[in-house]
Homo-oligomer: A and B are copies of this chain.
Amino acid sequence: MQNSTQPEDLSKLTLLGREAKPSKKLETFPNRHPGRNYVVTLETTEFTCVCPMTGQPDFADLKIQYIPDASILESKSLKLYLWSYRNEGIFHEHVTNVILEDLVAALSPRWCKVTANFGVRGGISISVEAEYSKPGTSQP
């Protein structure tokens, strides 16, 4: 299309970042305050996956909360991780739990909760809240 973005439009941009890829790898850095139970909350309004029945896109706002143990989640890797669902067919209730399980595996947190608010379908919106506690940790 003549009226859309052309390859040569990009040729003089020197500051904008370069190519990235979706990834299932969640990176971490060390928690320097493991003596304290504190809560980290990450939120995005930019999650999308696909309905396993109709193949049509679904959209959600996500909230991820956790109490770190030894590791803190690096947020750029979370962005690439969430991107990896862009073409996956999965029900709302399933994907929320799967994200929780992947976070627990990567972070080994003391506590973690994932909340997903999906857009209206057929006049009805759906949200799902799932949480995990390491045995012996009280919830915040």
Q: A residues engaging B (CB < 8 A)?
A: 1-6, 9-10, 12-21, 23, 25, 27-33, 36, 38-46, 48, 52-57, 59, 68, 72, 74-80, 83, 86, 88-91, 93-98, 101, 119-132, 140
Contact = CB atoms under 8 A, between A and B. Distances in A.
A14 B29 CA distance: 11
A71 to B, nearest CB: 10
A88 B5 CA distance: 10
Contacts of A86: 57, 86
Given A18-B54, A21-B55, A119-B45, A29 B3 contact: no
A36 B96 CA distance: 12
5 contacts: A38-B96, A43-B124, A45-B59, A59-B123, A79-B124
Nearest to A1: B98
A75 B121 contact: yes
B98 A3 contact: yes
A29 B41 CA distance: 31
Contact of A127 (B23, B40, B57, B129): B40
B77 A15 contact: yes
A5 B52 contact: yes
Given A15-B80, A44-B125, A48-B48, 12 more contacts: A3-B32, A5-B52, A9-B52, A14-B27, A15-B23, A38-B96, A38-B97, A43-B125, A44-B123, A46-B57, A48-B57, A119-B120
